[in-house]
Amino acid sequence: MDRIRICGGVPINGEIPISGAKNAALPLMTAALLSAETLTLSNLPHLADITTLANLLVQHGVEIRMNGAAAGDGHIGRVLELSAGTITSTRAPYDLVRKMRASILVLGPLLAREGRAEVSLPGGCAIGTRPVDLHLKGLTLLGAEIDLREGYVHAAAPNGLVGAEIVFPMVSVGATENLLMAATLAKGTTRLVNAAREPEVTDLALCLTSMGARIEGMGSDTLIIHGVERLHGAAHSVIPDRIETGTYAMAAAITGGEVELLGAKAEHLRSVIEILGRAGVSVTETNRGLHVKRADGRLHGVDVMTEPFPGFPTDLQAQTMSLMAAAEGAAMITESIFENRFMHVPELCRMGADINVHGASAMVRGQPSLTGAEVMATDLRASVSLVIAALAAQGETVVNRVYHLDRGYERLEDKLAACGARIERIK
């Protein structure tokens, strides 16, 4: 199993190309199931999760062709052409779904297009139980009959889905995406109230619109979808990854470096830019992306609470904790989205951080310095928070279980090494 070795203490300086967003790319790929014509997606990141979903789609009968190259080599990321001319199977099997929870996003499109789907329940994961009840309740309101048997969701709508009003009791990115896709082919109008407003949801809505869907309220918490008979082919470019952007901004900040994040969009990161500003990090827009520089002196502790967009993203909580672990003063970090997303805390403490968890909050008392250690992590963002801490720590850190990083960060070690980090992958 690969590991990553980092010798800390070197400022991260230079330019980092930001890849296409993983969490936008995954739902966009499943949208290909909605049409018999070809959906061409560009600026896709080269990541393990993209391959996992491609394998699932192929198994449903989608033909996939790939060209282009990885981002950062002067190209704009990979291009995938996805053609779901005939759906050959409506079953998403356990062995593929268990590898990645986002596989549940095939449910809405398969049901809308084929009138049936059998999708394995994804099960819990390292950051919480993560049920899919909101996806299932919403589809039931659109007229689907849903039955849970032998670990699978069996969904049927032999006469097609019918538009309805769905009021989400809490904000869910995945449930919003699944229902948005399903509603595009339902008869009549659907209103999704208290819908997620994440940029990835808006990117999906834009792509669906290019495919012929009729959607109002994009970017707001109420989406109105007027169902159409069929969707057609389209070409769509995936938005830049705001979580990758925030991660590298924090890597520069913790090491006292200065970076330009190429292709990054400030409008996707307002809450993060605000917190970084209060911590002593300036983030300004350039004509190529975002420029990040830490002010002279140490970072300041700032309280942070994760919230649905436009609030502070849970996917940057772990990285922020590393930053605060090396800041001056204390910071209270509260996780309001997932119930178990502090698995990085014991590992950060092994690197010299002073963090106490009380329920959904963590009190971080910043230390003058962190120290390298052998560490391992349980999920993608926890792993990268250890990389960030290691970049600033004295001595050597070895991060185990690198496969977590490969799920969501394209060429992480190359991008950081190009900015001066002493980082290498050990095979």
* Residues carrying an active site annotation: 125
The answer to whether residue 153 forms part of the interface with ligand EPZ (CB under 6 A) is no
Q: Toward ligand EPZ, which CB reaches closer, 202 or 257?
A: 202
Looking at 130, 300, 350, 425, which residue binds ligand EPZ (CB under 6 A)? 130
CA atoms of 78 and 67, how far apart (whole Å): 6
Q: Toward ligand EPZ, which CB reaches closer, 291 or 409?
A: 409
Looking at 167, 170, 193, 235, which residue binds ligand EPZ (CB under 6 A)? 170
Build a one-symbol-per-residue string for 371-410: x at contacts with ligand EPZ by CB under 6 A, - elsewhere: ---------xx--------------------------x--
CB–CB of 331/324 below 8 Å?
yes
CB–CB of 157/144 below 8 Å?
yes
CA atoms of 161 and 362, how far apart (whole Å): 44
Q: Which of residues 218-277 bind ligand EPZ (CB under 6 A)?
A: none
Q: Which of residues 331-370 bind ligand EPZ (CB under 6 A)?
A: 337-338
CB–CB of 57/93 below 8 Å?
no
- Of the candidates 263, 316, 313, 269, the one whose C-alpha atom is nearest the C-alpha of residue 288 is 263
Q: How many CB atoms lie within 10 A of CB 184?
A: 30
What are the structure tokens assigned to 403, written together?
A: 């496969």
* Dihedral angle computed from the Cα positions of residues 96, 101, 102 and 104, in that order, rounded to the nearest 10 degrees: 80
Name residue, tokens 């002073």.
Answer: 354
CA angle 297, 299, 300 (to 5 degrees): 120
User: Least distance (Å) from ligand EPZ to the CB of residue 259?
Assistant: 22
User: Least distance (Å) from ligand EPZ to the CB of residue 334?
Assistant: 14
Q: Which of residues 31-90 bind ligand EPZ (CB under 6 A)?
A: none
Count of residues interacting with ligand EPZ (CB under 6 A): 24
Give 15's strand partners. Answer: 260
Q: Toward ligand EPZ, which CB reaches closer, 103 or 255?
A: 103
CA atoms of 130 and 285, how far apart (whole Å): 36
Q: Toward ligand EPZ, which CB reaches closer, 10 or 206?
A: 206
User: Least distance (Å) from ligand EPZ to the CB of residue 192?
Assistant: 13
User: Least distance (Å) from ligand EPZ to the CB of residue 125?
Assistant: 8
Please tell me what DSSP assigns to residue 18.
Answer: P
Q: Which of residues 278-337 bind ligand EPZ (CB under 6 A)?
A: 314-315, 337
Q: How many CB atoms lie within 10 A of CB 413?
A: 19
CA atoms of 236 and 43, how far apart (whole Å): 9
Q: Which of residues 177-206 bind ligand EPZ (CB under 6 A)?
A: 200
Tell me the window of 165-173, 212-220, 274-282, 367-375 that interacts with ligand EPZ (CB under 6 A): 165-173
Looking at 133, 285, 354, 424, which residue binds ligand EPZ (CB under 6 A)? 133
Q: How many CB atoms lie within 10 A of CB 170?
A: 10
Looking at 155, 175, 183, 391, which residue binds ligand EPZ (CB under 6 A)? 175
Q: Residue 168 to residues 143, 179, 180, 218, 221: CA-CA distances in angstroms? A: 17, 11, 13, 16, 10
Q: How many CB atoms lie within 10 A of CB 190?
A: 26
Looking at 39, 106, 134, 225, which residue binds ligand EPZ (CB under 6 A)? 134
Tell me the window of 168-176, 183-191, 345-353, 393-401 that interacts with ligand EPZ (CB under 6 A): 168-176
**Strand 78-83 relative to strand 63-68, pairing:** antiparallel
Task: Report the interface residues with ligand EPZ, using CB under 6 A.
Answer: 23, 26, 101-102, 128, 130-135, 170, 172-175, 200, 314-315, 337-338, 380-381, 408
